[in-house]
Amino acid sequence: MAKVLARRLSIAAALVLAVVTAAFLLVEALPGGPGALPEDPRVPPAQAERLRAAWGLDRPLGERYVRFLLSALGGDWGPSLAQHRPAAEVIAGALPWTLLLSGTALLIELAGGLALGLAAARRPGGAFDRASSVGTLALRAVPGFWLALLLLSAFALRWPLAPAGGVSTPGLDGGPFARLADLAAHLALPALAIGLPAAAGAARFVRAALLEIAGEPFLAAARARGLTPRRVLFGHALRAATAPLVQLLGFSLGGVLSGSLAVEVVFAWPGMGRVVFDALAARDYPVLVAGAALSAVAVIAASALAELAHAALDPRVRDA
């Protein structure tokens, strides 16, 4: 197990390094990037020289790369070019909002997906299975940003049950409970827009994972021992299907930071997606690099975690 852990962690670290390096080189090569400063004819040579020295751009590429890596390791990703504060601070301010939104969406996905998938797998081909098969097929295909627009026009404007965007009602007075309820109301529509299609996909995945092992002899044995269908399903089948379920969880976790971008934009949610979107428009490279690095870390860490969990749960993988 320790060997698997060490191997997987070193792969993950190498991947993060590779992504950060690729981002650094890409910015370096871009027109208007750090390398382009002295090319502007309007800047007098002496001034350009001074700027280059001030920003450390007179140093060779290798040295700049090492400096960038070292300060990034220390949490310094450079100054945001659009907002006059450190890029790391910009990202750090947005991170909790995205985690809140994506975490809620993930709960909707897992709860909805498990419940529907289990219910459908109990009687494959039955009435419920067929209805849920059609429903999830359609819902899975729905893009989050489109669902966000539809939810917005239905439940924020036509039947105003929830606020249309943002995270809080301006000028709201009240105790912590009132503020919590206000936050929950703001959270509901964007979380549903992300969570519902994901739940439909998860339901199909859970159903398929359960049916995949339905023919296994140990389930026949469990039934032959006289266990109730409920116990066969929950005690045996679900447990044996843990591996694909963990895989599903890892996949969903990986998208936690980057999967909500368009929905955040629709609902003016002040998370990572919005920050990255604004940084794109402003060509704010330090914020972009920091955001890219962080979402890459999320993807890589989630897949490493999923693999480790799989190894911990499945002796065949662990001892290989």
Partner 1 sequence: MPERRSRRDLTLRAGLAVLALLTLATLLAPVLVRADPELALDPAATALSPPGARFETLRLAAGYELAAPRVVRSGDRFRLEGRGREREVPASAVDPARPLGRVKFWLGTDALGRDVAARLLHGGRVSLAVAGASVALSLVLGVPLGLAAGLARRRLDTLLLGTIETAQAFPRLFLLVALVAIVPAGVGTTVAVLGLTGWMPVARLVRAETRRVRASDFVLAARAAGVGRTRLALRHLLPNVAAPVAIEASLAMGAAVTTEAALSFLGLGVPPPVPSWGNLIADARGLEAAWWVALFPGLALVATVIACGLIGDALRDRMDPRRGALAG
Q: Under the rule (CB under 8 A), what is the footprint of partner 1?
A: 11, 14-16, 18-19, 22-23, 26, 29-32, 121-125, 137-138, 140-143, 145-146, 149-150, 152-153, 156-158, 210-212, 214-215, 219, 223, 229, 233, 237, 258, 261-262, 265-266, 276-277, 280, 283, 288-289, 291-292, 295-296, 299-300
Q: Name the minimum Å distance from CB 280 to partner 1.
A: 6
Contacts 24+ apart (CB under 8 A), 102-106: 102/194, 102/255, 102/256, 102/257, 102/259, 102/260, 103/256, 104/187, 104/191, 104/195, 105/190, 105/191, 105/192, 105/194, 105/195, 105/198, 105/260, 106/195, 106/198, 106/252, 106/253, 106/256
**Rounded-to-integer distance, Cα 272 and Cα 225, Å:** 52
CB nearer partner 1, residue 167 or residue 275: 275
Q: Name the minimum Å distance from CB 128 to partner 1.
A: 12
Contacts 24+ apart (CB under 8 A), 212-216: 212/241, 212/244, 213/237, 213/240, 213/241, 214/121, 214/124, 216/240
Q: Name the minimum Å distance from CB 163 to partner 1.
A: 13
Cα 184 to Cα 168, 172, 179, 180, 273: the distances in Å are 9, 14, 9, 6, 20
CB nearer partner 1, residue 14 or residue 181: 14
CB nearer partner 1, residue 32 or residue 174: 32
Q: Name the minimum Å distance from CB 245 to partner 1.
A: 15
Q: Name the minimum Å distance from CB 315 to partner 1.
A: 22
Q: Name the minimum Å distance from CB 173 to partner 1.
A: 29
CB nearer partner 1, residue 154 or residue 181: 154
Q: Name the minimum Å distance from CB 106 to partner 1.
A: 19
CB nearer partner 1, residue 6 or residue 141: 141
Cα 277 to Cα 77, 102, 149, 164, 262: the distances in Å are 18, 17, 18, 20, 9
Which of 252, 40, 267, 245 has its CA nearest to residue 150? 267
CB nearer partner 1, residue 248 or residue 288: 288
CB nearer partner 1, residue 11 or residue 48: 11
